[in-house]
């Protein structure tokens, strides 16, 4: 069985999840994936069991693949901004 992933690897995985979640153009999807990534990592922060950690990491990797694909798909469609989103940051970036 593979050794438990290092802290660096897990942080890198988390970084990628956050970065890819932010790619979503739709506010609801974006916030949902950010929330989900944060919650799942925080919940399992103190997980010591290497078998469990491996399981969680491989699950997160699968989800990252889905996230990457869906983030691109989401960019193919335009969405209206919701009222809770600040308009100025949007204008600054585009």
Q: Which of 2, 7, 87, 91 lies at the binding interface for other proteins (CB under 8 A)?
A: 7
Tell me how far, at minimum, the Cβ of 41 lies from other proteins, in Å.
5
Q: Which of 1, 2, 3, 42 lies at the binding interface for other proteins (CB under 8 A)?
A: 42
Q: Which pairs from 50-58 meet CB under 8 Å and 24+ separation?
A: 50/3, 50/4, 51/1, 53/4, 53/5, 54/1, 54/2, 54/4, 54/5, 57/5, 57/9, 57/10, 57/13
Tell me how far, at minimum, the Cβ of 44 lies from other proteins, in Å.
11
Question: In the complex, which residues of this chain contact other proteins (CB under 8 A)?
Answer: 7-8, 11-12, 14-15, 18-19, 22, 38, 41-42, 45
């Amino acid at each position: 069985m593979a050794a438990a992933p290092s802290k660096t690897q897990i942080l890198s995985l988390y970084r990628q999840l956050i970065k890819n979640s932010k790619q979503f153009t739709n506010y609801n999807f974006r916030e949902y994936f950010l929330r989900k990534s944060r919650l799942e990592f925080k919940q399992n922060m103190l997980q010591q069991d290497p078998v469990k950690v491996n399981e969680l990491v491989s699950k997160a990797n699968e989800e990252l693949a889905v996230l990457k694909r869906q983030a691109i798909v989401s960019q193919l469609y335009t969405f209206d901004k919701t009222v809770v989103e600040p308009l100025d940051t949007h204008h600054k970036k585009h």
